[in-house]
């Protein structure tokens, strides 16, 4: 049989995975911020979450200040905010709806029930004491999706696009997390004596589910550089940018070889370059050159990879160089 | 004892009047009303979670609704089914012969069996189809025949659906639901299986394609269509891609779909899109759902369509009135399943009779589907009858009338008890080189007490339909 995977379906599979991954990451970040990320005065920095999602404009158009209740409401349940968990899960489910002939019944049912559950969330569920269990449910919902997919989704071309979406989104999320948090958490430059706030760096690692793995690797202490290096360059941590890029590169190569598809060569070139960038540096090099500048370059290359997939496989027009539109239904 | 208080005076009951249903009645009697309610609630929750739903759109929200499901099955004894099956096959054969004739020599018009103006001026008659030869002469690959049963227990055909009949997904999902929720009810009862619908459909599409080993797709209007679940279901059952108009492109009169590897040929299309929307070049130019140039590819014989274009002329309610004559004309047989007596208001006699007996008749517009625009004389108010009379006089050709049939009933679970509710039956017939009928079909039930309208858009539900071995 020839390739019969519709370009539109491949696109929807890719976005299905991205949206679920996005919802999971957002739940992690909100949960950790709610639970662990207190500074020495006991305050929480909720604005950094708005920055992390590049939502300053949209957020302050709706809210005067970035306090806990407002940021949580904006990112958990606000369906008018396209970057909320509710919107991501809804978008995942709408993609899944168009994909029902391809995905397993169990994948669809779980997402449908998950979505319907989130649709019943009220303001009362977002209050202290109830938020964390809700976010745990979101994480678990996303991970259940991932597990069901692993166990039931047929491994043809569609599987590769799904996995590509997952790893590219994860790389993107880790990059953003690091970019925003690193600079917020660095010791005060004006006060060289100020201590590294260990609990905040721990919280950053917990956001990426990397705390325990990091401890195994760096048992003696915690330094900002080591944390950044771990999240960016570690070869075995499943949420490190390096690992995600490497996985995406392997997936794309296998997709091309196994199914005789030629649409991936530009994306493959991008990923090859990106992996080269990530494997050729140490974290010390990165910090000297500027972490923010480095992460910006990584983001640009991730975006170019996504755009190249759009043109090579999903039938997007040629000129959209800078960023793929989140065309997803 | 769930049936101990049950009676259905004046109506034929599909369960209690049926000679072969004793074993099922006995099994039902072993359940309590509470148990029925509990299992019914579980079944409906499962349908909702499975997304076996049709979608209703309000201002901003898409609301998924399940087709209400009644857990007490409708039973059809083997002998009754044999009659329905042969009647449906006969009817589909006549419809296909009629369409082949209308789009070729038009003998039936020349012989004055059918009035030429009824056909040639009809908006569903497609001159684009003139002279096209279709494999096996099959126009109506999928047909849904709406059948009712009167107080005397006789079956009658109420309507033919020869365009894009829907509902078959509910038939099969209802069965799966019953097997899960009521294994004890079906255990030991010989019920004909219905699982092969997808295979039969795929085989028929293959037989009617222009090439030997066709690439088949199902063309849907998209995920916003209320019947999208059924499109998903059928694509999955056949193992073919579910495409939308924007996934297809016509190049040099050949159809391709846009895949990750470029353009892949398509040779057979099961389309769930009405003629009007199929091809903006040939029909409605505003259609965003269709495929530009599809009719050119079709006329060139490079792609097959199921159902064929132009079948809407055959399931028109006015043409329906001629079906007994059409069957005799082409097949030389008497109809196995009779029509409901029908008065054509386009004819002077029919109009006069209808106006004289308005309070006893059901008046239907010929072009509508879904139970819209119907006036039920015995239930209508004075004002409604007057409005109906005015419409009839203004545009008589747009209406037919029929006697008010005392539709058969079936025991149905309502709040805390089991009561009779009116039902109909839509068997599904698939035709490639020959015709196959899915055992049973969709039993629709009017859930409101006394209601005769079973359409899902008007408060109808469905039941599993058991054809006994």
For the segment B264-299, what is each residue's pLDDT rounded down to a tens digit? Answer: 999 999 999 999 999 999 998 888 899 999 999 999
Element (H, E) at A269: helix A265-279
Using CB atoms within 10 A of its CB, is residue A79 exposed (0-12), middle (13-18) or buried (19+)? middle
Q: What is the mean pLDDT of chain B?
A: 92
Name the A residues in 146-185 with CB < 8 Å from any B CB: 157, 161
Query: Read out DSSP for A69-90?
Result: HHHHHHHHT-TTSTTSHHHHHH
Instruction: Give the pLDDT score at A222.
Output: 85
Query: Read out DSSP for A304-318?
Result: HHHHHHHHHTS---T
Check: CB of residue A90 under 8 Å from CB of residue A79: yes
Nearest residue in chain B measured CA to CA from A158: B260
Residues 6+ apart with CB under 8 A from A226: A214, A218, A283
Tell me, yes or no, whether A5 lies in a domain: yes
3-state class percentages of chain B: helix first, strand second, coil last, to nearest 5:
35, 25, 40
CA-CA-CA-CA torsion for B169, B171, B173, B178, nearest 10 degrees? 180
Q: How far apart are the C-alpha atoms of B13 and B295, rounded to whole Å?
A: 47
Sign of CA dihedral A135, A141, A144, A145: negative
Mean pLDDT value of segment B150-179: 94
Tell me, yes or no, whether A287 lies in a domain: yes
Quick check: A10 and B260 CB within 8 A?
Answer: yes
Mutation target vs A (from B260, B264, B266; most A CBs, 10 A cutoff): B260
Above 80 in pLDDT, residue A54? yes
Q: What SS3 state is found at B437?
A: strand
Half-sphere exposure of B100 (CA within 13 A, CB side): 15
Tell me, yes or no, whether A120 lies in a domain: yes
For A18, B111, B376, B379, B420, the CA distances from B451, given in Å and listed in that order, are: 49, 42, 11, 10, 11
Residue A229 shares a structural domain with residue A298? yes
Mean pLDDT value of segment B205-229: 94
Instruction: State the smallest CA–CA distance between residue B118 and chain A in angstroms.
Output: 41
Q: Which of A101, A105, A116 sits opposite B242 (nearest CB)?
A: A101
Name the A residues in 32-91 with CB < 8 Å from any B CB: none
Establish if A98 touches chain B: CB-CB under 8 angstroms: yes
Tell me, yes or no, whether A43 lies in a domain: yes
Instruction: Give the pLDDT score at B287.
Output: 85
What percentage of chain A carries pLDDT values higher than 70?
90
Instruction: Give the pLDDT score at B148.
Output: 96
Instruction: Give the pLDDT score at A40.
Output: 61
Mutation target vs B (from A94, A100, A258; most B CBs, 10 A cutoff): A100
Quick check: B232 and A100 CB within 8 A?
Answer: yes
Q: Which of B50, B215, B258 sits opposite A315 (nearest CB)?
A: B258
Instruction: Give the pLDDT score at A37.
Output: 62
Above 90 in pLDDT, residue B230? yes
Residue scoring higher pLDDT (B334 or B43) = B334
Q: What angle do CA A124, A126, A128 make, to 5 degrees?
A: 100
ipTM over 0.90: no
Mean pLDDT value of segment B229-256: 96
Tell me, yes or no, whether A27 lies in a domain: yes
Mean pLDDT value of segment B178-188: 87
Query: In chain B, count of helices (H) and strands (E)?
Result: 15, 22
Residues of A whose CB is below 8 A from B246:
8
Residue A190 shares a structural domain with residue A75? no
**In which band, very low, low, confident or very high, does the pLDDT at A129 lie, cut at 50, 70 and 90?**
confident
Quick check: A2 and B215 CB within 8 A?
Answer: yes
**In which band, very low, low, confident or very high, does the pLDDT at A321 lie, cut at 50, 70 and 90?**
very low
Residues of B whose CB is below 8 A from A262:
261
For A270, A293, B272, the CA distances from B278, given in Å and listed in that order, are: 41, 52, 9
Which of A48, A50, A43, A45 is CA-nearest to residue A73? A50
Above 50 in pLDDT, residue B29? yes
Least confident of A178-187, A197-206, B116-125, B314-323: A178-187
Tell me, yes or no, whether A294 lies in a domain: yes
Q: How far apart are the C-alpha atoms of B425 and B157, rounded to whole Å?
A: 10
Residue A144 shares a structural domain with residue A177? no
Which of B178, B149, B145, B41 is CA-nearest to residue B410? B149
Instruction: State the smallest CA–CA distance between residue B398 and chain A in angstroms.
Output: 39
Number of Cβ within 10 Å of residue B112's Cβ equals 8
**In which band, very low, low, confident or very high, does the pLDDT at A329 lie, cut at 50, 70 and 90?**
very low
Instruction: Give the pLDDT score at A191.
Output: 54
Residue scoring higher pLDDT (B460 or A193) = B460
- Angular region, B191: left φ>0, alpha ψ -120 to 50, beta rest: beta
Residue scoring higher pLDDT (B103 or A50) = B103
Mean pLDDT value of segment B347-356: 94
Q: Which of A6, A262, A313 sits opposite B247 (nearest CB)?
A: A6
Quick check: A6 and B259 CB within 8 A?
Answer: yes
Residues 6+ apart with CB under 8 A from B459: B446, B447, B448, B451, B453
Residue A163 is part of which domain span?
155-324
Q: How far apart are the C-alpha atoms of B154 and B156, rounded to whole Å?
A: 7
Instruction: Give the pLDDT score at A181.
Output: 80
Q: How far apart are the C-alpha atoms of B80 and B427, rounded to whole Å?
A: 13
List the structure tokens of B139. 């126009």
**In which band, very low, low, confident or very high, does the pLDDT at B450 lie, cut at 50, 70 and 90?**
confident
Residue A77 shares a structural domain with residue A165? no
What percentage of chain A carries pLDDT values higher than 90?
67
Number of domains in chain A: 2
Instruction: Give the pLDDT score at A38.
Output: 66
Residue A149 shares a structural domain with residue A231? no
Instruction: Give the pLDDT score at B61.
Output: 65
Helices A85-98/A68-76 angle, 10° precision:
0
Residues of A whose CB is below 8 A from B51:
97, 100, 108-109, 112
Residue scoring higher pLDDT (A104 or B369) = A104
Mean pLDDT value of segment B244-270: 97
Check: CB of residue B99 under 8 Å from CB of residue B313: yes
Q: Which of B49, B247, B260 sits opposite A109 (nearest CB)?
A: B49
Residues of B whose CB is below 8 A from A157:
260
Residue A131 shares a structural domain with residue A180? no
Instruction: State the smallest CA–CA distance between residue B214 and chain A in angstroms.
Output: 11
Residues of A whose CB is below 8 A from B264:
2-4
Sign of CA dihedral A144, A150, A154, A159: positive
Mean pLDDT value of segment A286-309: 95
Residues of B whose CB is below 8 A from A7:
247, 258-260
Q: Which of A5, A100, A105 sits opposite B260 (nearest CB)?
A: A5
- Angular region, B166: left φ>0, alpha ψ -120 to 50, beta rest: beta
Instruction: Please give the DSSP secondary-structure letter assigned to residue A156.
Output: S
Mutation target vs A (from B223, B225, B259, B266; most A CBs, 10 A cutoff): B259
Quick check: B259 and A263 CB within 8 A?
Answer: no
Q: How far apart are the C-alpha atoms of A298 and B105, rounded to whole Å?
A: 70
Nearest residue in chain A measured CA to CA from B55: A97
Tell me, yes or no, whether A329 lies in a domain: no
Instruction: Give the pLDDT score at B57.
Output: 66
Number of Cβ within 10 Å of residue A247's Cβ equals 19
What percentage of chain B carries pLDDT values higher than 70?
97
Residue scoring higher pLDDT (B64 or B33) = B33
Establish if A108 touches chain B: CB-CB under 8 angstroms: yes
Above 70 in pLDDT, residue B368? no
Instruction: State the smallest CA–CA distance between residue A217 and chain B in angstroms.
Output: 42
Quick check: B260 and A3 CB within 8 A?
Answer: yes
Locate the domains of chain B by residue range. Answer: 22-210+303-340+405-467, 343-403
Quick check: A98 and B264 CB within 8 A?
Answer: no
Q: How far apart are the C-alpha atoms of B46 and B49, rounded to whole Å?
A: 5
Strand order in the sheet with B248-251: B248-251, B254-259, B262-266
Residue A143 shares a structural domain with residue A287? no
Using CB atoms within 10 A of its CB, is residue A184 exposed (0-12), middle (13-18) or buried (19+)? middle
- How many interface pairs between A and B have CB atoms less than 8 angstroms apart? 72
Quick check: A8 and B244 CB within 8 A?
Answer: yes
Mean pLDDT value of segment B144-153: 95
Quick check: A101 and B235 CB within 8 A?
Answer: yes
Residue A297 shares a structural domain with residue A148? no
**In which band, very low, low, confident or very high, does the pLDDT at A107 lie, cut at 50, 70 and 90?**
very high
**In which band, very low, low, confident or very high, does the pLDDT at B415 lie, cut at 50, 70 and 90?**
confident
Above 60 in pLDDT, residue A323? no
Which of A156, A155, A204 is CA-nearest to residue A178? A204
Instruction: Give the pLDDT score at A62.
Output: 93
Instruction: Give the pLDDT score at A189.
Output: 57
How far does Cα A53 stand from its chain's mean position?
10
Above 60 in pLDDT, residue A1? no
Above 70 in pLDDT, residue B390? yes
Residues of B whose CB is below 8 A from A98:
222-223
Q: Which of B51, B243, B264 sits opposite A2 (nearest CB)?
A: B264
Above 60 in pLDDT, residue A320? no
Residue A149 shares a structural domain with residue A285? no
pLDDT tens-digit readout, A239-282 = 999 999 999 999 999 999 999 998 999 999 999 999 999 999 99
Instruction: Give the pLDDT score at A195.
Output: 62
Above 90 in pLDDT, residue A42? no
Instruction: State the smallest CA–CA distance between residue A105 and chain B in angstroms.
Output: 8
Q: Which of B222, B236, B241 sits opposite A4 (nearest CB)?
A: B241
Mean pLDDT value of segment A160-179: 95
Residue A172 shares a structural domain with residue A306? yes
The third-level CATH classification (topology) of the domain covering B343-403 is Dna Ligase; domain 1 (3.30.1490)
Instruction: Give the pLDDT score at A328.
Output: 39
Nearest residue in chain A measured CA to CA from B214: A1
Residue scoring higher pLDDT (B155 or A129) = B155
Residue A182 shares a structural domain with residue A301? yes
Nearest residue in chain B measured CA to CA from A115: B49
pLDDT tens-digit readout, A268-278 = 999 999 999 99
Instruction: State the smallest CA–CA distance between residue B184 and chain A in angstroms.
Output: 25
Using CB atoms within 10 A of its CB, is residue A132 exposed (0-12), middle (13-18) or buried (19+)? middle
Q: How far apart are the C-alpha atoms of B9 and B6, rounded to whole Å?
A: 10
CA-CA-CA-CA torsion for A128, A131, A132, A136, nearest 10 degrees? 170
Residue A80 shares a structural domain with residue A171? no
Above 80 in pLDDT, residue B155? yes
User: Which range has highest mean pLDDT (A53-62, B204-213, B340-349)?
Assistant: B204-213
């Amino acid at each position: 049989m020839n390739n019969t995977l519709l370009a539109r379906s491949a696109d929807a599979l890719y976005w299905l995975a991205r949206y679920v991954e996005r919802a999971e990451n957002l739940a992690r970040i909100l949960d950790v911020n709610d639970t662990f990320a207190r500074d020495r005065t006991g305050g929480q920095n909720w604005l950094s979450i708005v920055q992390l999602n590049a939502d300053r404009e949209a957020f302050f158009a709706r809210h005067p200040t970035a306090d806990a209740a407002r940021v949580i409401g904006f990112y958990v349940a606000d369906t008018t905010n396209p970057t909320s968990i509710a919107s991501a899960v809804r978008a995942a489910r709408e993609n899944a709806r168009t994909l029902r002939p391809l995905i397993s019944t169990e994948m669809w049912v779980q997402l449908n029930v998950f979505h319907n559950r989130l649709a019943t969330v009220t303001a009362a569920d977002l209050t202290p004491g109830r938020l964390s269990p809700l976010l745990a449910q979101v994480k678990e919902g996303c991970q259940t999706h991932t597990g069901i997919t692993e166990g039931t989704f047929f491994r043809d071309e569609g599987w590769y696009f799904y996995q590509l979406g997952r790893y590219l989104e994860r790389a993107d999320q880790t990059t953003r997390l690091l970019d925003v948090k690193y600079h917020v958490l660095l010791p005060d430059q004006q006060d060289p004596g100020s201590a590294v706030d260990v609990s905040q760096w721990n919280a950053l690692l917990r956001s990426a589910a990397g705390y325990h793995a990091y401890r195994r690797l760096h048992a003696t202490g915690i330094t900002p550089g080591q944390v950044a290096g771990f999240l960016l360059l570690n070869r075995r941590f499943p949420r490190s940018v390096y690992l995600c890029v490497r996985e995406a590169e392997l997936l794309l190569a296998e997709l091309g070889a196994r199914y005789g598809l030629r649409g991936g060569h530009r994306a493959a070139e991008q990923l090859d370059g990106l992996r080269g960038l990530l494997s050729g540096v140490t974290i010390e090099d990165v910090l000297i050159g500027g972490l923010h500048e480095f992460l910006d370059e990584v983001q640009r290359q991730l975006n170019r990879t996504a755009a190249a997939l759009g043109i090579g496989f999903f039938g997007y027009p040629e000129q959209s160089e800078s960023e793929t539109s989140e065309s997803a239904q | 004892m769930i049936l101990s208080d049950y009676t259905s005076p004046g109506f034929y009951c599909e369960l209690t009047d049926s000679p072969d249903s004793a074993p099922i009645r006995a099994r039902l009697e072993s359940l309590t009303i509470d148990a029925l309610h509990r299992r019914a609630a579980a079944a409906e929750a499962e349908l909702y979670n499975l997304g076996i739903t049709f979608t209703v759109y309000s201002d901003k929200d898409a609301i998924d609704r399940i087709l209400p499901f009644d857990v007490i099955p409708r039973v059809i004894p083997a002998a009754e089914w044999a009659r329905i099956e042969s009647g449906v096959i006969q009817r589909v054969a006549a419809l296909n012969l009629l369409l082949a004739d209308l789009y070729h020599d038009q003998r039936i018009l020349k012989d004055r069996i059918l009035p030429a103006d009824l056909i040639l001026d009809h908006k569903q008659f497609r001159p684009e189809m003139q002279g096209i030869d279709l494999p096996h002469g099959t126009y109506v690959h999928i047909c849904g025949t709406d059948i009712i049963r009167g107080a005397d227990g006789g079956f009658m055909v109420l309507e033919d659906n020869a365009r894009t009949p829907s509902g078959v997904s509910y038939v099969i999902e209802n069965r799966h639901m019953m097997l899960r929720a009521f294994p004890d009810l079906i255990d030991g009862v010989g019920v004909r299986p219905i699982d092969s619908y997808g295979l039969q459909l795929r085989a028929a599409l293959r037989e009617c394609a222009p090439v030997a080993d066709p690439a088949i797709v199902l063309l849907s209007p998209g995920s916003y269509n209320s019947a999208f679940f059924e499109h998903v279901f059928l694509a999955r059952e056949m193992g073919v891609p579910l495409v939308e108009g924007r996934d297809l492109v016509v190049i040099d009169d050949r159809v391709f779909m846009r895949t990750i590897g470029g353009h892949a040929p398509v040779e057979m299309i099961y389309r769930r899109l009405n003629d009007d929307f199929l091809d903006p070049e040939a029909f409605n130019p505003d259609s965003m759902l269709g495929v530009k140039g599809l009719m050119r590819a079709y006329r060139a014989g490079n792609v097959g369509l199921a159902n064929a274009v132009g079948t809407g002329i055959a399931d028109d309610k006015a043409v329906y009135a001629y079906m007994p004559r059409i069957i005799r004309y082409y097949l030389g047989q008497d109809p196995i399943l009779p029509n409901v007596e029908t008065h054509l208001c386009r004819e002077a006699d029919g109009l006069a009779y209808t106006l004289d007996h308005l309070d006893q008749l059901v008046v239907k517009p010929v072009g509508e589907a879904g139970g819209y625009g119907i006036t039920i004389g015995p239930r209508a108010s004075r004002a409604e009858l007057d409005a109906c009379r005015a419409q009839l006089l203004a545009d008589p050709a747009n209406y037919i009338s029929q006697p008010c049939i005392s539709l058969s009933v079936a025991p149905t679970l309502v709040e805390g008890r089991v009561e009779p509710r009116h039902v109909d039956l839509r068997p599904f017939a698939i035709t490639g080189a020959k015709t196959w009928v899915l055992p049973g079909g969709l039993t629709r039930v009017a859930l409101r007490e006394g209601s005769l309208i079973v359409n899902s858009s008007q408060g109808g539900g469905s039941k599993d339909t058991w054809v006994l071995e």
